[in-house]
Structure formats: structure tokens, C-alpha cells
Structure 1
């Protein structure tokens, strides 16, 4: 079954380690949405609302359903027996939304995680999905480390090469993600994490979270530009955005820690 409709509150951490150190931590608010139950979504779906969720903000943007799109990706990477998919993301607020990263948790019939899709957006309107898959016959748990080449431009102060390492710790009530970025010479350049609690989604709890985290997406985009200004003031070289690679999906394979 996977994670049902839930509200996530936690902390986002970014720590740049080189060539200049810079770090920040801020509160985060996400929602967990089982894709088979979009017709039961407690907020506005594909229409304007105080908060809303739009299919067009994720996945294929070609008319196919989000669940079908994810299943097609899984099958193309030989990930089998996925029955339920839960999307952890942030909704639009008053029509505006921006998700630096959304997580697609892919469960089998025994509630094991067979794969995790990390859908990344940059501030240039582009997106790329890294699919984290374990070795054949394995499932993703808190001992699984997957790694892949960096192929998508995110920060104007980091090159589009090197590698990412992904780790996760997930239960019905807890979600944590660690994504570290390494240069080609194996120097660790960036450490990031998202950690927090998952709670039942009720009308009362959701309104409470809205008051606690108003204008969540505007806050996120504002912090991104504020951190970029700080990096520029520290003298980091601006790197122009390269043309996006044609492939929109790449795989992060399991390796030993």
C-alpha cells in the first residue's frame, strides 16, 4: 500500500564544502500523495485553490497519468512488481508552486520500496529525474547507497559533472533523504539532507500546517536566490547554464558504501 495521504514537516539542510563553505537549514513542508488515489485528494486537483496539485507540475506533461508515466520508467529499467507509488512534493499555494525536488516512492505488494524517483527542477524551468534502483533482487532500505553521474544543471555555481550519492530512511511516519555531490576527483563538494515526520492528513491538521508554513513555495524560491547572492558575494564564479541533455531520466545504481 505504501504511505497514505500524509503531511510532512521537517528540515532541509544544504552544506557546501568547497571551494567556499556555505550552509543553511530551514523548515520544510511537503505532502505525501498516493497516486492511485488522486481522485480522493483533499485539496484542489488540476484547478485553482488556496492550495492545489496539478499533474502538469510533474512527470510527463503529455496527457498520460503520473502513475502510468512512473510505471513506464520503472519497466524500462527492469524494475518489476511495483503496485503502489506515493509522491512526496509541495503543492501550489495561490496558484504558484516550485519544487526543487520531489520523491516518487515505488512499493511492491509487500510494502518494500523497489525504486525511488527523484524528480529535480531548476530555476530555469527544466527538470530531470534520477531513478534510484537497488541491485537485482534487493529492495531500498536505510543501508542502500545508489550513485549516478550528475547530468542536470541546478546551481549556477557548480559544474554539470561529477556524481551524486543517494541514501534514504523511510517508514510510515518518517522520511529522510541524503544526497551528496562529489567532484570527478572524489572531492565532496555538497552535502544535503531532508528529514522529518509524516503525520495523518486531516482537514484540521492541514489548515494548521498552512498557518505554520505560509507561502511555502515562495519561501523556497526566495531562499534559493538569497543563497545565490551570498555565493556571488563570496567570489564564486558564475557558471552559465549549458544546453540541457536530451535524456530526461537517468539511473542511480546501488553500490557498496
Structure 2
């Protein structure tokens, strides 16, 4: 299959997590992630490779098409077909996928965001591709409706099992923000994704991932590899470590149910 990508940006920042009850648990981890622009004037994948990064080939950092969507179509074809099947025909601008890259060939993405824009640059929809450690995934499609801009609150009913310390009830609330500023002669853009989870008793989790863009270069790759070695391996290790903390704090445990019948929900 032929893949098209117009640009890849490297972002460095942090993940924050705050559990409110029945035992308070909070942590902040430094991370890096990539933002892949999927639509526009197409370039061959080889044009987007640099020392330390490759597309569909092993490297220090890499992006593999099969890690996203259904793993059969290109990421762009998959998300375009998904949007059309859900009746969203006006997301005809840029589509940007935000995710962790493979590090030394390994990646686990608890959630990836596909930001789908109209031609005028306004945000039309966000596709949240959520995965759990059991190898399952679910798609939450966030339709912006009549209000099409960054910063608005979007919501989705929770129907997919992620953590054994949260019941499948309640809803997620999302806010996606981006800000730009000039630092000297450089133009810097910061991206923030906030996800808050309310169960039937009220607010339970406050989480976010934020990062500032930089060019994908051999120097920037070397910098993040030195600062966050084996970052994607650490993602899975930290998930299990935090689960152990919750178990020690005697937070109620919920057994894993069967996955939802529908892969996509709104």
C-alpha cells in the first residue's frame, strides 16, 4: 500500500494524571510524541526520513502505518473511510495524527488522537483511538457539531474497559488546545489534550498530555533519546506500577468485561 505523509513534528512535554478518590493518586511523567500530518501535498515516505527516524522501517524512532487504524489500510484511508461512514463529509482539510512513535521497534499507545479539520482550518472532529493492555481497542468519535474550534468541551460515554480500577460507567470530557508563540526567531506551537473522567458519583480522574513542537532532526532525536531512554517501554511499565500502587491503597477492583460489540462510538 502507498502511504502519504506531509510532515512529522516531534513534541516534548509531559503526561499528568490525578485520581481524586477513593484514594488520591497523582503522577507526572516526561514524554515525547509525534504529530503526523496525513493530508496535503503528498511526499514519498523516504523524503520524510532522517537519521534516527524512519517510516515503516526499524530505527531509533519509527512510525509504522500498521500500528494505527485497522492496520490494513493506510492511516489516511482508514480515517477518511471512518469519517464518511459516520456521516462526516466536511473534514476536508488537514488530518493530523498524534501518537507515540516506536522506540527501538516497540510502541504502546494508550490513546492516539486524530485531529480532523475543515479546509478553513477549523477543527471538525477528533478520533480517539484507545487501547488497553489486553490487546483490545475502541474508537471514540468526537463530533464538534456546530461549534468548530479548539478549546471547546467534547464528551463521550465510557463503554470500553481500560483500567481495572474504574467501572464502565459515566463519561469522558475532552478539551484540546493549541497555542503558538514566537521565541526569538523561532515559532513554537504547544498542544494540550485534557481528558477528565466522571463516573456515576462525579469527577474521578483528571489527565492531560501536553507538548511543544520542534523539527524532527537527528539532533532533536538524540536529545529526546538521552532524556527519555526507552520511553515507550516505560509507558507499559508505569501503567502496571501505578496499578500496583492502587492495589496497595485498596482501591476497588473491577474484573475485565467482554469488549463492546461496536468498535466505534460517539
TM-score when normalising by structure 2? 0.87
Instruction: Give SS of 1:110's match.
Output: coil
- Alignment of 1:128 with 2:138, yes or no, is yes
5+ residue gaps, structure 2? 1-5, 181-188
For the aligned residue pairs, the C-alpha RMSD in angstroms reads 1.9
Is the Cα–Cα contact under 8 Å of residues 131 and 250 in structure 1 kept in the other structure? Answer: yes
- The equivalent of 1:189 in structure 2 is 204
- The equivalent of 1:254 in structure 2 is none
Q: Deviations over 1:117-170 (max 9, x none)?
A: 11111111111121222123x31311x111111011000111111110111102
Aligned pair partner of 1:217 in 215, 232, 241:
232
- The equivalent of 1:169 in structure 2 is 177
- Alignment of 1:76 with 2:85, yes or no, is yes
Aligned pair partner of 1:235 in 250, 254, 259:
250
Aligned pair partner of 2:261 in 240, 246, 250:
246
Measure the CA separation in 1 of the matches of 2:14 and 2:74.
30
Measure the CA separation in 2 of the matches of 1:38 and 1:85.
17
Measure the CA separation in 2 of the matches of 1:167 and 1:38.
33
Is the Cα–Cα contact under 8 Å of residues 152 and 244 in structure 1 kept in the other structure? Answer: yes
After TM superposition, the structure 1 = structure 2 runs for residues 34-49 of structure 1, keeping only pairs within 5 Å, are 34-36=37-39, 37=43, 39=45, 40-42=47-49, 43-49=53-59
Q: Deviations over 1:189-242 (max 9, x none)?
A: 111111221122222222222222210111111111110000000012221111
Is the Cα–Cα contact under 8 Å of residues 4 and 86 in structure 1 kept in the other structure? Answer: no
Is the Cα–Cα contact under 8 Å of residues 196 and 205 in structure 2 kept in the other structure? Answer: yes
Q: Deviations over 1:67-109 (max 9, x none)?
A: 1111112122332142321111111112211111111111222
- Alignment of 1:149 with 2:164, yes or no, is no
Structure 1 consecutive aligned stretches of length 4 or more whose deviation exceeds 3 Å: none
- The equivalent of 2:61 in structure 1 is 51
Instruction: Give SS of 1:232's match.
Output: helix
- The equivalent of 2:35 in structure 1 is 32
- Alignment of 1:111 with 2:121, yes or no, is yes
Aligned pair partner of 1:65 in 64, 74, 77:
74
Is the Cα–Cα contact under 8 Å of residues 115 and 140 in structure 1 kept in the other structure? Answer: no
Measure the CA separation in 2 of the matches of 1:232 and 1:38.
48
Measure the CA separation in 2 of the matches of 1:139 and 1:170.
14
What is the aligned length?
A: 246
Measure the CA separation in 2 of the matches of 1:66 and 1:158.
30
